[in-house]
Structures are given as structure tokens and as C-alpha cells.
């Protein structure tokens, strides 16, 4: 069993002795039944991780002594996902799973076919970010995706740098597959992936994305729900080559 992981506040790992947040301390003692002397990983959710040993663990809280800190490199390519904004449970599933799959940034967009409204979604941004950080404790990456506030599609499209490989998953595309698009650009240092909401990309959205340099990619015989398409895209970029 690998070492247990705990989230600590940003900046906490600049010190040798780190107090665990109360909920983390209670989890360590009551659920995981850890003891003084046990080694753990501490993650600050901003890219820094530390191997540490529990020096005190009681009802009042937990203190860890840092043994070494590291800032692991993020995997390449840098991966930015732009999903059409989905309803609550689907976005929360994405927050967790895209964190595991080492997505670097998530930029949800709102369009004619998205169901949730912009205002509601902005209020949930903090929740997605928290779920993504909690997922680090499962997967051991050192930082979660950065969730940008939902925006309209033109704003998202124009944020993509010109050098990035830009892909949109589009069910009506019959020529180019995702695998072909990735294979044709093996050295891409940054990949942006646009994925429609339930109901798919509207024709005007496809045209706008093409004009912004996004290449339409089909998924062959497979028709995926919107959140599954985002997960599959991230999995293929991270693990398919």
C-alpha cells in the first residue's frame, strides 16, 4: 500500500512542522487509524508535495514533520479541456476524473445547447476546484486542473494560443479520427480539446471553432455522452501514445 496523502493549505509546506487541517487530522486518526511515526504524503494543491512523518496525532489535531519536498513535473503535453457546461453531477464527475488524468486547465463554456445558466455555474466553480483537489489524495498528482469560470464560446476559443494543437470532438466528422489528429502532431506541447454539451455542438459553434483553428475529429462508431467524451479525450491524450 502506498503512503496516505493529505491536503494542506497553500504555503504550508514552506515550514518543517505542518499542522494538518482538522478534517484531515480526524480522517487520519479515526478512519485510516494512522499513528505517530507513520509516513505520509502532504500535498499543497499547488504543485508541491512533501514526504513527512506524523509527529503528533491526538484528538486535538495532527502535526507532521516534513522529510523532503518535491515539485514533480507535469506530464506533457499541457492539456486544456473546454467542455460545454453540464448539469451538476456530470461536472462534478469531470472535476474528479480530469484531476486524476492530469488535465492542466478546464474552461467550461456556455452556448445555445447548454442547460445550466452562466450565473449558477460560476457559483459552483469553488466546488469543482475543491473536488479536484480532493482527487489528488487518490491519484497523487501534485496539482489539480485550474478551473476557469464558465464563459461564452468565443471567449474560450480566443484564449487558445496559436501554437497549440486544437481539437474538437464532433460526431458528424467522418474523415479524421482523434487518433489520427494526435498522431499527425506527435510533438505538440499543448493540446486544447473542445467537447460539446449533451445534444452536441451547434452548427454555428462548429463553424466558429473551425475558424479559430480547431480540427474536427470523429469518434468512429462510438457515441459518447458529453462527460464521457471529455474523459475519453483526456485518457487518449495522456495514455494513448
Q: Which of 1, 31, 60, 123 binds a copy of itself (CB under 8 A)?
A: 1
159 or 219: CB nearest a copy of itself: 219
Rounded Cα distance between 116 and 90, Å, is 12
Q: Of 21, 75, 159, 173, which lies in the binding site for a copy of itself, with binding defined by CB under 8 A?
A: 75
The nearer residue to a copy of itself, 148 or 177, going by C-beta atoms, is: 177
Nearest to 168 by CA among 202, 129, 132: 202
Distance, in Å, from the CA atom of 15 to the CA atom of 44, rounded to the nearest integer, reads 12
Shortest distance, position 44 Cβ to a copy of itself, whole Å: 18
Shortest distance in whole angstroms from residue 137 CB to a copy of itself: 11
Instruction: Pick the binder of a copy of itself from 118, 177, 208, 210 (CB under 8 A).
Output: 177
**202 lines the binding site for a copy of itself (CB under 8 A):** no
Could you say whether residue 72 binds a copy of itself (CB under 8 A)?
A: yes
Between 61 and 75, CB nearer to a copy of itself: 75
Report d(CA 109, CA 124) in Å as an integer: 14
**In whole angstroms, how close is the CB of 22 to a copy of itself at the nearest point?**
25
Q: Which of 141, 157, 165, 181 binds a copy of itself (CB under 8 A)?
A: 141
Q: How far is the CB of 131 from a copy of itself (least distance, A)?
A: 13
Output 22 or 240, the one with its CB closest to a copy of itself. 240
As a whole number of angstroms, the distance between CA 168 and CA 210 comes to 9
Q: How far is the CB of 49 from a copy of itself (least distance, A)?
A: 12
Candidate list 139, 155, 159, 208; residue touching a copy of itself; CB under 8 A: 139
Check binding of 101 to a copy of itself (CB under 8 A): yes
Instruction: Indicate whether 208 belongs to the interface with a copy of itself (CB under 8 A).
Output: no
Q: Which residues bind a copy of itself (CB under 8 A)?
A: 1, 72, 75, 93, 97, 100-102, 138-141, 177-179, 199, 219-225, 228, 231-232, 235-236, 238-241
Amino acid at each position: 500500500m502506498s503512503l496516505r496523502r493529505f491536503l494542506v493549505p497553500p504555503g504550508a509546506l514552506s515550514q518543517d512542522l505542518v499542522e494538518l487541517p482538522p478534517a484531515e487530522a480526524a480522517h487520519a486518526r479515526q478512519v485510516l487509524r494512522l499513528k505517530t511515526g507513520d509516513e505520509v504524503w502532504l500535498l499543497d494543491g499547488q504543485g508541491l508535495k512533501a514526504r513527512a512523518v506524523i509527529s503528533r496525532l491526538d484528538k486535538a489535531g495532527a502535526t507532521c514533520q516534513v522529510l523532503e519536498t518535491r515539485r514533480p513535473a507535469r506530464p506533457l503535453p499541457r492539456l486544456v479541456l473546454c467542455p460545454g457546461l453540464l448539469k451538476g453531477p456530470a461536472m462534478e464527475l469531470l472535476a474528479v476524473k480530469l484531476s486524476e488524468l492530469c488535465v492542466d486547465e478546464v474552461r467550461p463554456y456556455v452556448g445555445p445547447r447548454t442547460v445550466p445558466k452562466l450565473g449558477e455555474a460560476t457559483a459552483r466553480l469553488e466546488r469543482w476546484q475543491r473536488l479536484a483537489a480532493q482527487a489528488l489524495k487518490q491519484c497523487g498528482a501534485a496539482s489539480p486542473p485550474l478551473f476557469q469560470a464558465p464563459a461564452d464560446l468565443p471567449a474560450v476559443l480566443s484564449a487558445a494560443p496559436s501554437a497549440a494543437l486544437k481539437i474538437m470532438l464532433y460526431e458528424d466528422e467522418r474523415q479524421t479520427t482523434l487518433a489520427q489528429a494526435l498522431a499527425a502532431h506527435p510533438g505538440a506541447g499543448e493540446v486544447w480539446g473542445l467537447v460539446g454539451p449533451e445534444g452536441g455542438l451547434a452548427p454555428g459553434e462548429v463553424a466558429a471553432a473551425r475558424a479559430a483553428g480547431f480540427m474536427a475529429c470523429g469518434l468512429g462508431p462510438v457515441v459518447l455522452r458529453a462527460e464521457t467524451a471529455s474523459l475519453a479525450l483526456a485518457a487518449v491524450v495522456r495514455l494513448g501514445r
